[in-house]
Structure 1
Amino acid sequence: MNEFEMSDMGLLHYFIGLEVHQDEDGIFLSQSKYAMDFLIKFGLLNCKPAATPMNVGEKLQLNNRAQIDYARSFRSLVGVLIYLTHTCFDIAFSISVISRFMQQPSKVHFGAAKKVLCYIAGTKDYEIWYSHVSNFRLCGFIDSDYVGSLNDIRSISTYFFTLGSGVVTWTSKKQATTTLSTSEIKYISATSAVC
């Protein structure tokens, strides 16, 4: 206060789309209001919630013939979904797949992005819980999808880590090199996660 003009506004409750609920036992983080606003914007507020963010076994690929006229809406939707991965790490893989088609989206890609939003409709009230714990144990979980990208035959690595009670980091991205076997992709995924 001696150096800078500032005011104490109490505990943090809302900050750039991130809701924070603090109590004596820990902190809840969510983006339910942010998700609700965009469900309304895209007309999916009363949609049937999807059980998974992406169809099992679905592999999207580039389709030059089926470009959509509303590419701007697609890009806006993908941007919203990318921002939602701050608290919804379970959609990270789906978003990494869908965001590859920002330059030439098709109706199929737009449908896949809307399906993720339908999944969010069913999980928008989920929160990340960071509790007061005395044992901070770091746990990591790694997965991979062999040849997950059909256009360039690259595999996808996914991992997330927890420290104590909550998730602290997660990612899902295409590997830089082309792998020749499922064993090789598992080693590359594990190395990437450890790094």
Structure 2
Amino acid sequence: MDIPPGLTVPNTGMVCKLNKSLYGLKQASRQWYEKLTEALNTRGYTHSLHDYSLFYRKRGTSIVFLGVYVDDILLTGTDIDEITELKKFLHHQFKIKDLGRLHYFLELEILYKDDGILISQRKFVLDLLKEFSCDHSTPLSSPLDPNVKLRANEGKALNDPTQYRKLVGKLNFLTNTRLDLAYSVQLLSQYMQDPREPHLRAAFHMLRYLKKDPTLGVFMSSSADFRVSAYCDSDWAACPDSRKSVTGYIVLLGDSPISWKSKKQETISLSSAEVKYRSLRKVVGELVWLQRLFEELTLLSLGPFHVHCDSQAAIHIAKNPVFHERTKHIEVDYHFVRTKLQEGLITLHHIGTTAQLADILTKALTGIKHCTLLDKLAMSILPPT
């Protein structure tokens, strides 16, 4: 390593010995996490085996949780006295700043209502529109134009791809609360290496969509409805370049969305039945993880989880182990859907295409259908101040 500027040493062959981890060093985050874990362990806290950013302590009716992101910490639980003592302990160990009740955390804005909370990224959206000079643009009703099909090598290459990569990176951060952007962002992220002018136009199309409802966010209901339901869908051979399909799923706790994903599949599917079955595989894997996490959060007896799919063939494959003609080319690991069905973790239900909520995560929709699905997914806007 080089000697820091301003430090004079008599011998140029000397090196620096690291006594304390500093910001900017590669090992800093790991050292900080180990230090925090060690401190919390001395007070009886354990980190979750299913999410290492979560710590908890359970003693009788006293339950306290810590959500950690680097050096930002959220505290919640049923024991106010323990939370107060924990704050004092952390302040003694690390000199923390208590910001009171949660209102703003990592660009997430929390609005408390009588029937729940609304999580949005309003300020981040407004700053993004201003940064890319779209704050006075005409708003649009859908994230992407359903009539435009993007391809990898179509259109003129951008002279400076930095703007496109920066914009898509910030749009990706918005998918933390904007599930309506998940499909569009995963599509535009595929062209980061060699972006073209049509890709940039599509990205600015998304900005004009954000202009329509910059305060849109996820509503988390405070009702005691702990029923877990999931919707999965896919678009067969959606990618015009690789002919790979797109999978999308959404998991609801009551009426509140808690997990969602839109992703292009790793392999090419040979039939629409196969691609639907692969989407089942993805959402069931997520439900297995959620079940274990719920157990740590003391939410027991939530199963069986209801999984909704609009493909009768995929449901038959999961239920019928002798469906050879449609399954002999599907990898063995995907048949764990059948195992979880037999164990009682999930139940499979067929729904019509018009009732498929995950449709918003697999393809570009018209403005009317896009808005209809948002209304069903507990996406809300902030009330005027």
What TM-score, normalized by structure 1, do the two folds share? 0.93
Tell me by how many angstroms 1:57 deviates.
Answer: 4.6
Structure 1 stretches (4+) deviating beyond 3 angstroms?
none
What is the count of residue pairs matched by the alignment?
195
Tell me by how many angstroms 1:13 deviates.
Answer: 1.2
Matches of 2:155 and 2:136, distance apart in 1: 32
Give the residue type in structure 2 aligned to 1:32: R
Q: Which residue is 1:55 aligned to? A: 145
Q: Which residue is 1:194 aligned to? A: 284
Give the residue type in structure 1 aligned to 2:269: T
Matches of 1:62 and 1:176, distance apart in 2: 17
The correspondence for 1:72, drawn from 150, 159, 162, is 162
Instruction: Give percent identity, aligned residues only.
Output: 33
Contact 1:19 1:29 in 2 (8 A): yes
Unaligned runs of 5+ in 1: none
Q: Secondary structure at the match of 2:89?
A: coil
Tell me by how many angstroms 1:24 deviates.
Answer: 4.6
Tell me by how many angstroms 1:3 deviates.
Answer: 2.9
The correspondence for 1:155, drawn from 245, 268, 271, is 245
Unaligned runs of 5+ in 2: 1-86, 286-385
Q: Are the structure 2 counterparts of residues 28 and 98 from structure 1 closer, same or farther at C-alpha, using a change threshold of 3 Å?
A: same
Matches of 1:112 and 1:64, distance apart in 2: 13
Contact 1:59 1:148 in 2 (8 A): no
Deviations 1:23-79 (A, max 9, x none): 453211000110000100101111111111111153311117621013100001001
Contact 2:236 2:275 in 1 (8 A): yes
Q: Which residue is 1:3 aligned to? A: 89
Q: Which residue is 2:383 aligned to? A: none
The 5-angstrom pairing of residues 79-158 of structure 1 reads 79-158=169-248
Question: Which fold has the larger relative contact order, with Cα–Cα distance below 8 Å and residues 6 or more apart in sequence?
Answer: 1
Contact 1:30 1:128 in 2 (8 A): yes
Deviations 1:79-107 (A, max 9, x none): 11000001110110011111000010000
Q: Which moved more, 1:45-54 or 1:98-107?
A: 45-54
Contact 1:157 1:173 in 2 (8 A): yes
**RMSD after superposition:** 1.6
**Structure label with greater radius of gyration:** 2
Give the residue type in structure 2 aligned to 1:3: F
Q: Secondary structure at the match of 1:39?
A: helix
Q: Are the structure 2 counterparts of residues 65 and 119 from structure 1 closer, same or farther at C-alpha, using a change threshold of 3 Å?
A: closer
Deviations 1:111-133 (A, max 9, x none): 01111111111121212111211
Q: Which moved more, 1:16-25 or 1:150-159?
A: 16-25
**Which structure's residues are more often helix, by fraction?**
2
Q: Which residue is 1:22 aligned to? A: 112
Matches of 1:46 and 1:177, distance apart in 2: 42
Matches of 2:257 and 2:88, distance apart in 1: 37
What TM-score, normalized by structure 2, do the two folds share? 0.49
Q: Which moved more, 1:177-186 or 1:60-69?
A: 60-69
Contact 2:115 2:223 in 1 (8 A): no
**Which structure's residues are more often strand, by fraction?**
1
Matches of 1:87 and 1:40, distance apart in 2: 20
Deviations 1:170-192 (A, max 9, x none): 10001111011212111111121
Q: Are the structure 2 counterparts of residues 16 and 169 from structure 1 closer, same or farther at C-alpha, using a change threshold of 3 Å?
A: same
Give the residue type in structure 1 aligned to 2:89: E
Contact 1:133 1:165 in 2 (8 A): no
Matches of 2:217 and 2:173, distance apart in 1: 15
Give the residue type in structure 2 aligned to 1:47: S
Give the residue type in structure 2 aligned to 1:36: L
Contact 1:136 1:164 in 2 (8 A): yes
Contact 1:64 1:104 in 2 (8 A): no
